Copies of this chain bind each other. A is one copy, B any other.
Amino acid sequence: MPPTTRRIPRPTAQRLSLYSRELQVLIGQGRETLSSRELGEKLGVSSAQVRKDLSWIGQSRQTHEAGRSGIGYDCGALYESIRRVVGTNRRWATALVGVGNIGRALLGYGGFVDEGFPIVAVLDCDERLAGKRIGGFVVDPMSSLRKVVQKHHVTIGILAVPRSSAQIVAKQLCDAGIQGILNFAPMKISVSEGVSVANIDLSVALEQLSLDISLDSKRRPSGEDKE
């Protein structure tokens, strides 16, 4: 990884992530080159902004080759350069903690492997589940967490435990040397400095929809009263 990528501002990096998604689709459609204008239009970003963002990548050798004035960027080379910066060209081993409803659903979801975030170990706070086989994994007890993280080079913890134990488990993950947490518990968790958190909260999303529909004055809510 070239040292220049270390200074990329967060908003730029997030746009790079969106660009890579568009590029993936275009490459799948057989496209070979792309202008900053077209890429910007697809995402509602000005072409000047696109060029500025891509200049961050242009500082590394690979995309210097990818940016050709006149005919636009080489889709494949640009895609690979961005993936290198965003880290999606890597494989990040993940450990799932919690085999309740959400945990079991995630074990059945193939997307983690496809996206490069394979689940390599499964743990649960309930000691009685240790040794049981669930979704193709033998469940490890939390007392084995540090050993599991080291053995499988786990970088990311998937937190799928109830709200009541989320903070405790988050701390255990941090202490075990995890670098990022994908948090499915419906609460904000505190983590050690340098540990990243991404939240996926179905309840919040559902509540947002419920709120939007309830507040919309243009129609009567059609939900039925529970009480």
Residue positions of A touching B, CB distance < 8 A? 1, 5-6, 8, 10, 13-14, 17, 21, 25, 85-93, 101-102, 104-106, 108-112, 115-117, 153, 155-156, 163, 179-182, 186-187, 194, 196, 198-200, 202-219, 221-227
The residue in chain B whose Cβ has the minimal distance to the Cβ of A87 is B214
Top 4 closest A-B pairs, CB basis? A87-B214, A90-B223, A196-B212, A105-B105
Cβ-defined contact, A209 with B196, below 8 A:
yes
- On whether A6 and B215 interact (CB within 8 A), knowing A202-B111, A209-B156, the answer reads yes
Cβ-defined contact, A227 with B102, below 8 A:
no
The residue in chain B whose Cβ has the minimal distance to the Cβ of A102 is B109
- On whether A116 and B205 interact (CB within 8 A), knowing A92-B210, A111-B102, A217-B6, the answer reads no
Cβ-defined contact, B223 with A206, below 8 A:
no
Most chain B CB atoms below 10 A, which of A90, A93, A194, A226 = A90
The residue in chain B whose Cβ has the minimal distance to the Cβ of A8 is B215
Cβ-defined contact, B186 with A225, below 8 A:
no
Cβ-defined contact, A210 with B88, below 8 A:
yes
4 further contact pairs, Cβ within 8 A, besides A86-B211, A101-B110: A25-B163, A86-B210, A182-B206, A196-B212
